[in-house]
Amino acid sequence: MDARPTDEAENSLPEPFAGWFSARGWHPRPHQLALIAETGKGNSALLIAPTGAGKTLAGFLPSLIALHRRGRRRPGTAFRGIHTLYISPLKALAVDIERNLQKPVADMGLRITIETRTGDTPQGKRTRQRLDPPDILLTTPEQLALLIASKEAERFFRDLEFVIFDELHSLVTSKRGHLLSLGLARLRKLASGLHTIGLSATVAEPDDLRRWLVAQAPEEIRFSGLVTVKGGARPAITILGTDERVPWAGHSARYAMGEVMKAIAGHRTTILFVNTRSQAEMLFQELWSINEDSLPIALHHGSLDVGQRRRVEAAMAENRLRAVVATSTLDLGLDWGDVDLVIHVGAPKGASRLAQRIGRSNHRMDEPSKAILVPANRFEVMECQAALDANYVGAQDTPPLAR
């Protein structure tokens, strides 16, 4: 269903949630209320919305409301397992969501514990989480598989009520989708009353995701509820214009570094995406070699030490960097408000991937994302033009559901 505002729906938002919105001069968005209503009926649901529409808060509101009504476990009372499980395709996204969720929870005075568990989490913290679980656990498919396989799984998951899948289209259209399907089936055995919430960008076949979110029966095809958000500003994408000679081959885009540095200097914060870690290292070094103004520029990819990655993510969240060179580790969902430009060095290898990456710029529904495509060689000029044309007509090339 399309999300539409109603006074009755808005008035149904309980305190302190209604007061939190009101104190900031905000109103809950129609799709946020629609998702609360859908889960309030006992249904699982899929929310499809463009970048900057507030998908993440919408996905957590039903859980936060339920946790507020449940109240904190009193010391000395029986063990209580996790209430909400959030599954992210990226470690960095899980960390970013925790950071962004802690503030409204604190502002509303909610006594709710939120923690992450990824491959970067120290062993001591993982052990403590099994003994004293948080209310909300943000994790990845791989960590979920390990938790389910542990001997404490039945006790750990028995009180689970919500599983939230962020960037669902990305999670289930790869081999990770098989792993996640098995994990979800096991969770349904351990917590019979759980509800699933899927958050996704626009996809070509939403019914595939709706079927995935609910347990299927041999005699019928079942679908989750559906909440959709229309609109969103059209992105402003250009291919870098240059007087320099574009090479026939190579992936360094060294010819364009002068123009790239000028673009960085002319914007608040820029994310530069590349397709491989080696490209990220080379681009970072090229930029530093011509960084005459000593602009704060950082590097982010999966092979870096976890401490280094977290420092870069924190610096971006606090708007202390002018640019970061990244691979797919920062592709999805991250909301860094000061990012006003995405530069993609090399062909984006797909319209959907390009849309995800440029969505990191001006992460607001009513503001156009701004991006510059920088082909590394002459053949990539054609690839960039094809990706640009596909993006403007709304083409989707997300792979079909993994089967």
Looking at residue 6, its pLDDT comes to 46
Looking at residue 317, its pLDDT comes to 86
Query: Using one digit for the tens of pLDDT, what is the confidence trace for 45-56?
Result: 999 988 777 888
Q: Per the structure block, which two tokens stand in for 31?
A: 């799709």
Intra-chain end-to-end CA distance of the chain, in Å: 27
Compute the average pLDDT of residues 313-336: 86
Say which residue, 364 or 62, is predicted with more confidence: 62
Three-state secondary structure string covering 338-386: CEEEEEEECCCCCHHHHHHHHCCCCCCCCCCCEEEEECCCHHHHHHHHH
Contacts of 21 (CB under 8 A, 6+ apart): 13, 27, 28
Burial of 99 (0-12, 13-18, 19+ CB in 10 A): middle
Query: Using one digit for the tens of pLDDT, what is the confidence trace for 278-298?
Result: 999 999 999 999 999 999 999
From the list 357, 344, 330, the residue with the least C-alpha distance to 383 is 344
Say which residue, 60 or 347, is predicted with more confidence: 60
Determine the 3-state secondary structure of 87 from DSSP: strand
Query: Using one digit for the tens of pLDDT, what is the confidence trace for 257-268?
Result: 999 999 999 999
Question: What does the mean pLDDT of the chain come to?
Answer: 88
pTM of the model: 0.87
Compute the average pLDDT of residues 32-49: 94
**7-228 and 236-392: identical CATH topology:** yes
Other Cβ atoms within 10 Å of 328 Cβ, number: 19
Which superfamily, per CATH, for 236-392? P-loop containing nucleotide triphosphate hydrolases (3.40.50.300)
Q: Domain spans of the chain?
A: 7-228, 236-392
Query: What is the C-alpha separation between 13 and 61, in angstroms, rounded?
Result: 10
Say which residue, 148 or 364, is predicted with more confidence: 148
Q: Selecting from 3.40.50.300, 3.30.450.20, 3.30.930.10, 1.10.760.10, what CATH number does the domain 7-228 have?
A: 3.40.50.300
Give the strands of the sheet with 195-200, arranged side by side. Answer: 114-117, 136-139, 84-87, 162-165, 195-200, 45-48, 225-228
Q: What is the DSSP letter of 271?
A: E
Q: E strands of 3-125, at which residues?
A: 45-48, 84-87, 114-117
Compute the average pLDDT of residues 375-384: 92
Query: What is the C-alpha separation between 118 and 101, in angstroms, rounded?
Result: 17
Most confident of 137-151, 242-256, 302-316: 137-151
Are the CB atoms for 366 and 174 separated by under 8 Å? no
Looking at residue 8, its pLDDT comes to 47
Contacts of 292 (CB under 8 A, 6+ apart): none
Q: Is the pLDDT of residue 137 over 90?
A: yes
Are the CB atoms for 235 and 368 separated by under 8 Å? yes
In percent, the amount of the chain with pLDDT more than 70 equals: 94
